[in-house]
Amino acid sequence: MDSSALLALLDSDDAHHAAAGEWVGGPGRRALLLSHSYVVVETTALVARRLGPKASKVLIDAWLPELSVMYVDEELHRQAMVAYRKELSRRRSFVDRVSFEWMRHRQVDTAFAFDADFRKEGFAVVP
């Protein structure tokens, strides 16, 4: 699960809000949603800045508990930094690069994201 999906779920003005909500089914769903700690950091900062305290509380109380969060360790951070440095001209975020490396390592081939970089990197994207 990418920050773009979490933002779409929380922001009713987001162009992908309805599709995100329909796909995920809301808090309390049974399917496993995977992410990593850098997505949590990125999303909490973006939500606080863009949507304010009410949305931040919904993120913290309703959505983050639904995620299975893998914490980025030193090795994954290093691998992502090496890959990120090699492609600085592509203007992809470091958090996305961590996601790509993490997904490949975990053999995850599908992202719940509205960020075209996942598709460009060769992953399937839902919804």
| 62/54 Cα distance (integer angstroms) | 12
The pair of structure tokens assigned to 104 is: 């490949």
Cβ pair 68, 32 in contact under 8 A: yes
Domains in the chain, start-ordered, CATH in brackets? 3-126 (3.40.50.1010)
* Chain centre to alpha carbon of residue 6: 7
| 75/61 Cα distance (integer angstroms) | 30
Q: What does pTM read for this prediction? A: 0.91
**Position 25 confidence tier, pLDDT thresholds 50, 70, 90:** confident
* pLDDT tens-digit series, residues 36-79: 999 999 999 999 999 999 999 999 999 999 899 999 999 999 99
